[in-house]
Amino acid sequence: MALVAVAVLVALPPVERFVRELSYPLRDTAIINRQAAAEHLDPALIAAVIYVESKFDPRTSSAGALGLMQVEPSTARLLAHMSDGTEFTVADLAHPATNVAYGSYYLRYLLNLYDGSLTLALAAYNAGPTNVDGWLARARADGRTLSIATIPFPQTRAYVAKVEAATKIYRRDYAKLLGPAVCQAVTTSAKRRNMREVAPSTC
């Protein structure tokens, strides 16, 4: 019996790792870390968005969104124009490196657009900035703030909550692979000057 108990204890960590990787898989860490550094994003956030969007399966959605971060072709064309990506084609979104680059660029754009609010940036990633701008305008007219609980679309409420929860899990369980967390805030002055210029990492 003692030998069996020792065997179980020795075998447990690999089993736990297997369950973790099955529940919250992680692939393409080099790509994620590279784009996190380029866009001043937490790598765990990028991993969490990929997890919620595609579970690391680069499929095409029924709405036509493509790849790991489920980037829509129309959004990618806009981002290509903004970043001077003159040689972009929709087929490029099938490549993990390109897809994560565009998805991360878009996340940084949205974070800057909404003054560093992760909740609003994620809501816009899911429902689009036009919807979020409308919700914000109505909330302000009513004298209230827009929070996860008051997002009108149930799907978007669930999406934001899932990404925020998954970010914590990826940060906790994959800290060595994903590297240190970074500050993602943007100052108002930086927002006016350049969408890539962010506040210091010690927010």
Catalytic positions = 53
CA pair distance 119, 55, nearest whole angstrom = 20
4-27 b/e (C-beta count within 10 Å ≥ 16 → b): eeeeeeeeeeeeeeeeeeeebebe
SS3 content of the chain, % helix, strand, coil (to 5): 65, 0, 35
